[in-house]
Amino acid sequence: MKSILVPTNDLDTLDSVLTAAERLRARIDGWLEAAHFHTDPSAIMATDDSGAALPALVERFEREDDRRAAEARRRFDAFAAAAGIGDRAVWSESETGLDNLGNHARVYDVVVVGRPVKGSSGPSLGTLETALFDSGQAILAVPPEVPAELGRNILIAWNGSSETARTIRGALDLLRLADQVTVLTVTGMTVPGPTGEAVARQLRREGIEAGSLVVEAGLGESGHKTLEVAAERGADLLLKGGYTRGRLRQALFGGPTNYILFNAELPVFMAH
């Protein structure tokens, strides 16, 4: 893991996302690239009877888009200078729009995005899901307040799924650097697969000092219990497979991935 991508379109969460991305970059001695995705105004703006976007609205939209890109660039450059990142901080702009974030992100190891916040207009769950499902890479979902440490005390939310197995494989570099790794299983909330202790044993063969923990879900569901254990154990990073139950089912009926994405107070490393 060496290459980190940060989409900069959400200015409200840019500071926390950059902070988390830089802590991750420093931990892995990697590169940090920030990218602004310009949007084609004709795709979202009002049109006249011919179906063409109204010129005045297009001009206004493009000015605002350019202003936001310039503001993101200014803040990124200032952040990189203050952090002393040097030539390992890279700025880029794409004309393809955020809908193509997944395509753009396929050459990176991880995409860092803000997690959705209830009652807020951003960050967008759609942007997070585009990165998660379309890139083929892992994401790091960042809460509004970033912990002082990242990756020293890692909790793995193990449910037996291929999504979580893929997440662990993508995070091996981070797991090797951690001071503490715990594989958590919440009983009754798993799919057929190896036990948490089997996962911990394989990690120990990789040279990672991992332990395992099994807890009861209690009256809540596994997402709530996972975050409760993370807080109790002082974890600063959670590894979680994304949408084992499927996006639509979780959107309609709830599920651990959605619960964690909307409520986690620590960064969540996730793959699908």
33-92 pLDDT, tens digit each: 999 999 877 655 554 455 555 777 778 888 999 999 999 999 999 999 999 999 999 999
For residue 245, give its domain range.
153-271
Domain C-terminal end among 142, 167, 196: 142
104 & 66 share domain: yes
Q: CA neighbours within 13 Å on the CB side: how many for 159?
A: 26
Closest CA to 6 of 139, 133, 200, 154: 139
Boundary of a domain, candidates 95, 122, 142: 142
Q: Are residues 130 and 174 in the same domain?
A: no
Residue 64 maps to a domain: yes
Pairwise CA distance, residues 124 & 15, whole Å: 16
Residue 111 has a pLDDT of 97
Identify the pLDDT of residue 140: 97
Classified as helix, coil or strand, 125 is helix
Query: Residue 175, SS3?
Result: helix
41 cis-preceded (ω within 30 degrees of 0): no
Using DSSP bridges, classify how beta strands 31-37 and 3-7 pair: parallel, antiparallel or unpaired.
parallel
pLDDT at 197: 98
In terms of Cβ atoms closer than 10 Å to its own Cβ (0-12, 13-18, 19+), residue 240 is buried
Return all residues near 115 (Cβ < 8 A) that are at least 6 apart: 123, 128, 141, 142, 143, 261, 262, 264, 268
Alpha-carbon distances, residue 102 vs 50, 54, 73, 96, 189 (angstroms): 32, 30, 21, 11, 30
Q: Is residue 95 part of a domain?
A: yes
Burial of 49 (C-beta count, 10 Å sphere; 0-12/13-18/19+): exposed
137 shares its domain with 174: no
Q: What is the pLDDT of residue 189?
A: 84
Q: Is residue 237 part of a domain?
A: yes
Same domain for 14 and 131?
A: yes
C-alpha angle 120-121-126 in degrees, rounded to nearest 5 = 115
DSSP 27: H
pLDDT at 171: 97
126 and 224 both lie in a single domain: no
Q: Which of 189, 248, 242, 247 is nearest to 214 (CA)?
A: 189
Residue ranges of the chain whose pLDDT lies below 50: 47-48, 246-254
Contact status, residue 137 vs residue 111, Cβ threshold 8 Å: yes
Sheet hosting strand 110-114, strand order edge to edge: 89-94, 31-37, 3-7, 110-114, 138-142, 268-271, 237-241, 153-157, 180-187, 210-216
The reply to whether 65 and 113 lie within a common domain is: yes
- Are the C-beta atoms of residues 60 and 33 closer than 8 Å to each other? no
Q: How far is CA 180 from CA 8, 156, 165, 223, 240, in A?
A: 32, 11, 19, 21, 16
pLDDT of residue 166: 95
Assess whether 96 and 206 both reside in one domain. no
Q: Report the number of distinct structural domains present in the chain.
A: 2
In a domain, 203, yes or no: yes
**Is the residue at 209 inside a domain?**
yes
- Same domain assignment for residues 122 and 31: yes
Which two tokens mark 110?
Answer: 């991880």
Residue at 147 is within a domain: no
Q: Residue 27's domain is classified under what CATH number? A: 3.40.50.620
Domain end marker among 107, 142, 177: 142
Instruction: Identify whether 215 is part of a domain.
Output: yes
Same domain for 9 and 115?
yes
Together in a domain, 169 and 105 = no
Q: What is the per-residue pLDDT for 126?
A: 83
Residue 183's pLDDT is: 98
The answer on 225 and 247 residing in a single domain is yes
What is residue 42's predicted lDDT score, i.e. its pLDDT? 63
Residue 181 and residue 238 in one domain: yes
Residue 148 domain flag: no
